């Protein structure tokens, strides 16, 4: 079971959900939220990473708009709210908040020093930008929305990046996927996996497009990636 923690920046403070592993010292992973806030799905991901042996933290990246967002993908009203938050979100400020989270968790007595990041949906884009703009040691992006418009930043990639792409993603059309694949497929620091027949958020438990087999496959690849890059 996790705990609430606080991350402080020059712009103010915001909360995060922190889950500790059983061992006293471990690599850390920053969990980057979807457009539904730090909800049960994100807390479960954070808890699962702690169970795997990581010091895991999920920061509230919507704090500048409305702190404490915790909604689901189960109603039309919640989807409407989620897209309002998505449209109001400042991506550049969000990446700075992720760097603040990385710096905070790296100084935690329970952190061995290395810090990775994993993000989903909006968080997938942010995970890509975490790889290009922060000092994270490794980043993993699930079905990132909008990466195609930022692929020019790939030239700044010096740390490992893992990208999962759903081939039938309604929010990342085929043209966008082509741009992403062409920009990243031969990059020495990038691993890209595509999932035929899968739609957006195929790894979100309880979601409309959840696929247990491919969610497990992607999770296994992410687990191996972090074992290799974070030690």
HEC per residue, the chain: CCEEEEEEECCEEEEEEEECCCCCCEEEEEEECCCCECCHHHHHHHHHHHHCCCEEEEECCCCCCCCCCECCCCCHHHHHHHHHHHHHCCHHHHHHHHHHHHHHHHCCCCEEEEEEEEEECHHHHHHHHHHHHCCCCEEEEECCCCHHHHHHHHHHCCCCEEEEEECCCCCCCHHHHHHHHHHHCCCCCEEEEEECCCCCCCCCCCCCCCCHHHHHHHHHHHHHHHHHHHC
Decide if 164 is catalytic: no
Decide if 209 is catalytic: no
Buried b (16+ CB within 10 A) or exposed e, 186-210: eeeebbbeebeebbbbbbbeebebe
Choosing from 60, 137, 169, 211, which is the catalytic residue? 169
Choosing from 97, 200, 211, 214, which is the catalytic residue? 200
Residues labelled catalytic: 169, 200
């Amino acid at each position: 079971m996790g705990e609430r923690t606080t991350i402080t920046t020059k712009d103010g403070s915001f909360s995060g959900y922190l889950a500790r592993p059983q061992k006293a010292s471990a690599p850390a992973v920053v969990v980057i939220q979807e457009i539904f806030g730090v909800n049960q799905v994100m807390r479960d991901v954070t808890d699962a990473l702690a169970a795997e042996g990581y010091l895991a933290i999920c920061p509230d990246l919507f704090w500048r708009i409305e702190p404490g967002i915790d909604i689901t993908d189960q109603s039309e009203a919640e989807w409407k709210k989620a897209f309002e938050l998505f449209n109001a979100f400042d991506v550049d400020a969000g990446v700075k908040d992720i760097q603040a989270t990385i710096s905070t968790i790296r100084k935690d007595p329970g952190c061995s020093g290395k810090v990775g990041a994993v993000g989903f949906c909006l968080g997938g884009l942010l995970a890509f930008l975490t790889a290009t703009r922060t000092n994270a040691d490794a980043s993993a992006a699930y079905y990132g929305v909008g990466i195609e418009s930022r692929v020019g930043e790939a030239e700044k990639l010096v740390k490992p990046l893992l990208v999962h792409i759903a081939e039938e993603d309604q929010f990342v059309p085929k043209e966008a996927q082509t741009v992403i694949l062409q920009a990243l497929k031969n990059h020495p620091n990038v691993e890209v996996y595509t999932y035929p027949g899968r739609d957006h958020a195929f790894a979100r438990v309880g979601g409309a497009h959840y696929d247990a087999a491919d969610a497990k496959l992607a999770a296994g690849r992410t687990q191996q990636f972090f074992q290799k890059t974070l030690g």
